[in-house]
Structure 1
Amino acid sequence: MQTQPISTLAFMLVLLFLSPPRAAGARPSPDPLRSSCAQARYPALCVQTLSNFSNPAAKPLDLAQAAVKASLARTRALSAYLRTLKASSQGFDPRQQVAVSDCVQQIADSVSELSKTLNELQHLRDGAFQWQMSNAQTWTSAAITNGDTCISGFNTAGKIKLDLKRRVADVSMLTSNALYLINRLADSVTGKPRAKSGN
């Protein structure tokens, strides 16, 4: 009468010892998008921005292009806002008028630099990859610096500076993530164009 429980217990112990390796092997693979964004300066924003590119086939080039597109769109919106602000800046003190005018030019430069970056990423060539990556990194870094310079032109605190600081910070976070993904692409073998075969 006592042998049956013992044999049942032994059988259950065998199953218990056999199950851990199987469970470990069945662990779900990490989300490729979250893995790509894990080391970004703003990882949550990175995942949110690139959520449309979360399929397993997304490559570093796809993600870098998407990040630059998002940054460029937000920078263009900021540029339009600044042009509107400049048009209504007659009531500002002279220093603020100069600061707004400088910001208009700096953010316009950022739009140009990010546009060039996106164009470079869309036309990568074998044999020029590292040079093109260097261009993209330089232009994207310059776009971030332009935002910092824009804000520093407002020496006094006030509603204009606080509003601009928030808008520029929003753009800078997107652009910082774009730069991270460009750097990641530069280090990625799969991001490089394939060399053409033949003579």
Structure 2
Amino acid sequence: MAKPIILLLAALSILYTASPANAATTSSPSSSAIDFIEASCSATLYPALCVQSLSRYATSIQRNRSQLIQTAFSVSLDEAKSTKTMFANKLNGVKPRGMAVVKDCLEQIDDAVDQLRESIEELKNIGQAKGIGQDLRFHISNAQTWTSAALTDLSTCTDAVAGEASDGGLETSVRARVDGVAQVTSNALALLNKFGTEL
């Protein structure tokens, strides 16, 4: 039992810091890598989305748990940042009634972006943690806390638009986009939680 743990920790020590877009390569991923992603994603609430969002990075993930988790969080952060930019650009076209909702959502998404960045920093700390004691569990717990806070902010955003009258499709577009971010974030947290239970 100790040997797999040591291997997992060794893998975590080399977590890459590049965004998923930079992690993708042109070579074809092995079926083993895809199988690994599919098996790992089965522990998430949105397994099909998990596989779809991570399989394009299968060549860099291979069967490496740390790469899988780091990539999942990077995908989540990229989606949150993209959504934040979309809402910032949407402010000019929103009617007065919807303006407060979009601004509130923008603040919540901004907070979620910061919290996901903190989670990724904790993943780096996990890679530097020694042994399998309290230090490692402390960083895992911190990453879980930051990610849960990001999910709460995303939920607050979608709750804010619930029941709003249609404003050029405001409610539909906001909910669909933010729900997408929440789902990939939920998947990233599930993958991290699974790692934590295996220690």
Q: Could you tell me the TM-score, scaled by structure 2's length?
A: 0.73
Amino acid at match of 1:150: C
Tell me whether 1:182 sits opposite 2:187 in the alignment. no
2:96 corresponds, among 85, 92, 99, to 92
Q: 1:48 aligns with which of 44, 48, 52?
A: 52
Alpha-carbon deviation of 1:58?
2.3
Q: Percent identity?
A: 33
Corresponding letter in the other structure for 2:72: A
Which residue of 1 is the match for residue 138 of structure 2? Answer: 131
Q: 1:34 to 1:86 in 2, by over 3 A?
A: same
Q: Tell me which residue corresponds to 2:22.
A: none
Q: 1:146 aligns with which of 142, 150, 153?
A: 153
Task: Tell me: CA distance 1:39–1:103, structure 2 relative to 1, closer, same or farther (3 Å).
Answer: same
Q: What amino acid is aligned across from residue 156 of structure 1 in structure 2?
A: E
Distance 2:122 2:113 in 1: 14
SS of the residue corresponding to residue 148 of structure 1 reads helix
- Is the Cα contact below 8 Å between 2:43 and 2:191 reproduced in 1? no
Unaligned runs of 5+ in 1: 1-27, 190-199
**Larger radius of gyration, structure 1 or 2?**
1
CA distance in structure 2 between the partners assigned to 1:131 and 1:157 by the alignment = 44
Equivalent residue number for residue 119 of structure 1: 121
RMSD: 2.2
Matched, 1:169 2:179: yes
SS of match in other structure, 2:43: coil
Q: Which SS does the other structure have where 1:39 is aligned?
A: coil
The amino acid across from 1:133 in the alignment is I
**2:72 matches 1:67:** yes
Q: Give the alignment's TM-score, normalised by structure 1.
A: 0.73
Structure 2 alignment gaps of length 5 or more: 1-30
1:152–1:55 CA distance, 2 compared to 1 (3 A): closer
Moved more, 171-180 or 54-63: 54-63
Aligned residues: 159
Residue 34 in 1 paired to residue 38 in 2?
Answer: yes
Report the CA distance shift for 1:33/1:88 in structure 2 as closer, same or farther (over 3 A). same
Q: Take 1:181 and 1:157, find their aligned partners in 2: how far apart are those partners?
A: 37
